[in-house]
Chain A
Amino acid sequence: MKKMVNIMLVGVGGQGVLLASELICRVALKSGYDVKKSEVHGMAQRGGSVVSNVRIGEKIYSPLIARGETDILLAFEQMEALRWINYLKKDGVAIVNEQKIMPLFVAIGRGEYPKRTFEFIAKKTDKIVRLDALELARKAGHHKAANVVMVGALSNYLDVDEETWKKTVEEIVPPKTLKINLKAFELGRKTV
């Protein structure tokens, strides 16, 4: 791995963003790297935007990623990808779940969901990975595994062997859901 990788996970409360970031951090720690992560709790549970900063490298100081420093933007929702796009480095990697979740105001017709999301993202980078994580999760067995699909897609960009990923998935998900989550990881990994 290069000196440092900055990963920003963004999404909506309830999408399992925080579990995904926990998974990535544990994998990195096991692989011998220094890791820091920072996220906002509290209001996050009530359907608001959720952001998690993950930094992996030889020695990490700040737990935060500043604007323009993100190597990989892992967006669990389209509009959230756009909201945080300026945190991505020029030509960084944007892995974007195509799912759209309407904020309350948009849902009741008092605001518009942006239409040209991918066009705007393309102004920052042409390294865009689009996937339908929800559909892939359903294929794996349950829509809730979409977060692990996302981690699977991300896994291609980190210098960590597949075994470590899978072992860590096993540690972190409820035993009953292991098969589904491992399948979800594989499907995600194959999208890149």
Chain B
Amino acid sequence: MEKVLLSGNEAIARGAYEYGVTVAAAYPGTPSTEILENIAKYKDDIYCEWSTNEKVAMEVAIGAAFGGARVLVAMKHVGLNVAADPFMTLSYTGVNGGLVIVVADDPSMHSSQNEQDSRQYARFGKVPILEPSDSQEAKDFMGKALEISEKFDTPVLLRSTMRISHSKTVVELGARGEFPQPEKFERKPDKFVMIPAHARKRHVDVEERIKKLKEFAEKTELNKIEFNDSKIGIITAGISYQYVKEVLPQASIFKLGLSYPLPENRIKGFAKKVETLYVVEELDPFLEEQIRAMGIEVIGKDRLPLLYELDQGILREKLLGQTYPEPVDMENIQLPARPPALCPGCPHRGVFYILKKLGLVVTGDIGCYTLGVVAPLSAMDTTVCMGASVGMAFGLELALKDKIKGKVVGVIGDSTFIHSGITGLIDIVYNKGVSTIIILDNRTTGMTGHQDNPGTGRTLMGEETHQLDLAKLCKSIGIKHENVRVINPYDLQETMQAIQEEVIKLEPSVIITNQPCVLIEKGKAWDKYQVDEEKCRNCGMCFKVGCPAIYRDGDKAKINEIFCVGCSVCEQVCKFDAIKKAGDES
């Protein structure tokens, strides 16, 4: 069969296709997003959707699996927290058709707010977990995971990490297999209806299942011993395996493809045959603690880091005592950082400029607009998790009452609001809060690469669908009609006025911006701006909007004509009328 280069995410999607998945659901999140984007290429064979959030994605998946389909649900690590409630009880119900939960961790937090080790969910939920170490395994393990799911009547976690999901390695493609299709829903209330009386019995089944999975772990080829020199033995899984192979090619290696539950007998046997035993894993001592609990002495986190990702350099340093080559002496010159910034013309920019100007406390949320925290905008005071801005604005007001009244706003993106901001807003209305929430509706899920969402009117499979009207929604949950304002965020005056008027009201308000992301509205044909050098006094006001198109050239401001999209925000802040549309004379 054909050999191609695939990322781990492409390979997981391909695995879903080859191994007969018919339903797939996800909410986007780096580094997992491309899994569903690639499954959409197989939409003739696989129904796929962007769900409103990970909990809903999980529930859609559970329903489909109960109905007998082979199912994939994907999310980033923190998404599994959102979906944890259905996940934990799904462990009790088990499945019908195979159900694989792909969870993609982000060690080193390249694009995440924490670096939790999601393998802990396997032990927590008493569910098996598979860890591929390259794209070929990512595809193959997808098939194995479905098999295990059906054979043991359990959901299965397939754990990727950023270096699996976003590395490309060689994969051999196969054809889509034939798998039996469900005919009807079979009622099994003692299995599918988790009232306490049923759940108590199912918990017994869960413990039985884990025992059987332990036996399976002793035999499965997912767990492989590569016996070599007996001086050093290494137990490892996932991407860490690759680093070990590179650094210690002579060592004996026990590579775990199934990293929960562990094959205790085989591990004990392996440990006896080697002189020194190491456990090499990223983040938590997940394997290490379980292996120690078997009464086996290992070297692990006492030598290897608990934080961030590994690479072969770190292993050479920590295990072999090798040092890195001498760094270049830069004579104390510090290189300026190159942090990401809001794009030129981003509709979020004006809102943050005004929030900074008004000196408001801003409870923030997660999306492109989190970049509002970066100087010179510096207009965000909190970010915890998706949806948190809404409840947190209310909470701050409860803590500080009159001392903060009129000085707080919550800021949230459209996709994030739909994901988990709506319930927070209902809470404010219900509990008589007075908070002001700004929904930055750029008509896309920007941060993760422009996925559709219920506000865009299009599905992952490319179909037109009902477009959620955020203003109507807010009104219907009890925000007074006059307190729901839709504004043009490129108009700084209008933006400032709306915010000032709403924050002082003793009622909850919602301000919704109405300009789409500049990256999706490529057709926007605005005139670009330029600086009139005669009029520019080098006051620095235009630098405060933090636009990558504006730079200082000698003692004048200049606008990069390639970057500028003509949003006019800089023009509005210039006090000397020095910023003009290109081509305008005066």
Give A residues with C-beta under 8 Å from B.
12-13, 25-26, 29, 34-49, 60-64, 66-69, 79-80, 82-83, 85-86, 89-90, 102-109, 111-114, 116, 120-121, 123-124
Contact = CB atoms under 8 A, between A and B. Distances in A.
Interface residues of B, number: 55
Chain B interface secondary structure, helix, strand, loop or mixed?
loop
A108 B550 contact: yes
B340 to A, nearest CB: 3
A108 B371 contact: no
A114 B333 contact: yes
17 contacts: A26-B5, A35-B169, A39-B166, A42-B448, A46-B343, A46-B371, A47-B340, A61-B246, A62-B242, A64-B311, A85-B328, A86-B324, A86-B325, A90-B325, A104-B548, A108-B376, A120-B328
B167 to A, nearest CB: 4
Nearest to B165: A41
A123 to B, nearest CB: 5
B540 A108 contact: yes
B180 interface: no
A112 B31 CA distance: 33
Interface of B: 3-5, 30-31, 110-111, 134, 162-163, 166-170, 239, 242-243, 245-246, 311-314, 316, 324-325, 327-330, 333, 335-343, 368, 371, 375-376, 447-449, 540, 543, 546, 548, 550-552
B438 to A, nearest CB: 21
Contact of A86 (B328, B339, B546): B328
Contacts of A48: 338-340
B328 A46 contact: no
Contact of A103 (B110, B328, B337): B337
Contacts of A113: 336
B167 A63 contact: yes
Contact of B552 (A61, A64, A108): A108
A25 B110 CA distance: 23
B508 to A, nearest CB: 32
Given A41-B111, A42-B111, A79-B335, A36 B328 contact: no
A108 B543 CA distance: 6
Contacts of B543: 108-109
Contacts of B335: 79, 82-83, 114
A123 B30 contact: no
A103 B5 contact: no
A59 to B, nearest CB: 9
B336 A103 contact: yes
A89 B325 contact: yes
Nearest to A41: B166
A30 B302 CA distance: 43
A104 B552 CA distance: 10
Contacts of A86: 324-325, 327-328
Given A12-B338, A61-B245, A103-B336, A124 B328 contact: yes
A169 B169 CA distance: 20
Nearest to A106: B336
Given A41-B31, A112-B336, A68 B324 contact: yes
Determine chain A's interface SS by DSSP, over half rule.
mixed
Contacts of A47: 338, 340-341, 343, 548
A133 B399 CA distance: 57
B546 A104 contact: yes
Nearest to A42: B111
Contacts of A60: 169
Given A43-B110, A67-B313, A105 B336 contact: yes
Nearest to A112: B336
A62 B312 contact: yes
Nearest to B168: A37
A107 B551 contact: yes
Contact of A61 (B242, B371, B449): B242
A189 to B, nearest CB: 23
A64 B242 CA distance: 10
B413 to A, nearest CB: 14
B161 to A, nearest CB: 11
Contacts of A34: 170
Contacts of A112: 336
A63 B342 contact: no
Given A40-B110, A108-B540, A108-B551, A63 B343 contact: no
Contacts of B163: 38, 63-64
A121 B333 CA distance: 13
A66 B327 CA distance: 13
A43 B340 contact: yes
A62 B170 CA distance: 13
A61 B166 CA distance: 15
A18 B100 CA distance: 30
A150 B125 CA distance: 50
A123 B327 CA distance: 9
Contacts of B31: 41-42
A107 B5 contact: no
Contacts of A45: 340, 449
A134 B245 CA distance: 40
A180 to B, nearest CB: 17
